[in-house]
Structure 1
Amino acid sequence: MKNHIDFKDFLQIAIIVKDIEKAAKVWADILHVPVPEIRIDKPSENPDLTYRGKKAFYGLKLAVIMSKERGIMIELHEPLEGESTFKEFQNKHGNGVHHLGFVVGPDRRDAVVGEFEEMGYPIRTLGYYPGGSWTIIDAEDDLGVNLNIKPFA
């Protein structure tokens, strides 16, 4: 890849689970950390969120376990109603690693994502939020996992 991703840019592992409360407690016990807060995002109209090129409308439970020492995180996702990349993965695979996340310079994000698209890995989901964005690259058929490309500020 011309616009490669550095291993030092590794940021997250996102795991799809069917019972986030149970998974959060078990992960907290394994890692000897507090049980993370579980955020519930109900479906809402969001013009800054797409799934497979169309406006997305879905619900999701999310918990984040952060390692400040390493600068990496484990995200637990429990898909709720509506079609999403997370629900698609769960329907196809059940529980499992949905994506690995990498952070790149904001001036590199479009080049990295564009090169993945040229290689045959399309954007599955694109989301914007104040001060940032996330882009899920559909790579699970070849790589066994999707990729999340996030620009840092």
Structure 2
Amino acid sequence: MAGLLGTKSVTQIGFIVKDIEASKKTFGTFLGMEPPDTMDTEDYSVTQTTVEGKPAPGAACKLVFFDVTDHLQIELIQPNGVKSTWQDFLDEHGEGIHHIAFQIKNTEEKIAACEDFGMTCLQRGKYDGGNSEYTYLDASGPLKCIVELLENH
């Protein structure tokens, strides 16, 4: 049984943090890994970020990715203070696990299936020069978490 997403493999666990530089050192020590470089999200001209269905040109963050296995990343996210799912989470819950992510195909089809399952779209955008896209879904009702869909084109 493939489930709603066509996969059951979690590819990423995302954490919201206040201080990405301190957090990446802590995670690096815990994991026994050299802390990766910190990067910024791409410009809005690439990301075309929407939050709750509305354009969000100011929504951005700092990112760090730890490749802990060939198929699993730990992502650290430091929001920039502008309304986004990242900033909303930090404001409402403080630091902590923000999402679990799945690599999928056919984003629109998967969003529709997830909405039928009781999830709502929080935020969408593009990355990797516009060649890939992400969608955060509020699954707090059915799954008690935020789910992220990742698709590479």
TM over 0.5: yes
Residue of structure 2 equivalent to 1:76: 76
Q: How does 1:1-150 map to 2 (within 5 A)?
A: 3-8=4-9, 10-41=10-41, 44=44, 48-56=48-56, 57-67=58-68, 69-105=69-105, 108-129=106-127, 130-150=130-150
Structure 2, gaps ≥5 residues long: none
Q: State the percentage of identical aligned residues.
A: 26
Q: TM-score, normalised by structure 2?
A: 0.86
Gaps of 5+ in 1: none
TM superposition shift of 1:24: 0.2
Which 4+ stretches in 1 moved above 6 angstroms? Answer: none
In the alignment, the residues of structure 1 paired with residue 43 and residue 85 of structure 2 have an alpha-carbon distance, to the nearest angstrom, of 14
Q: Number of aligned residue pairs: give it.
A: 149
Structure 1 pair 81/29, CA: closer, same or farther in 2 (3 Å)? same
8 Å contact from structure 1 (residues 5, 102) kept in 2: no
* Partners of 2:119 and 2:141 within 8 A in 1: no
Q: Is 1:43–1:58's contact at 8 Å kept on the other side of the alignment? A: no
Alignment partners' CA distance in 2, 1:59 and 1:132: 16
Q: 1:37 to 1:47 in 2, by over 3 A?
A: closer
Cα displacement (A) at 1:4: 4.0
> What RMSD in Å do the two structures reach over aligned CA positions?
2.2
For residues 95 and 30 of structure 2, what CA distance do their matches in structure 1 show? 18
Shift, 1:81, TM fit: 2.5
Q: 1:41 to 1:2 in 2, by over 3 A?
A: closer
Aligned mates of 1:114, 1:94 — CA distance in 2: 30
Alpha-carbon displacement from aligned partner over 1:67-94 (angstroms, at most 9, x marks no partner): 3x43110000011121100000111100
After TM superposition, the score normalised by the length of structure 1 is 0.86
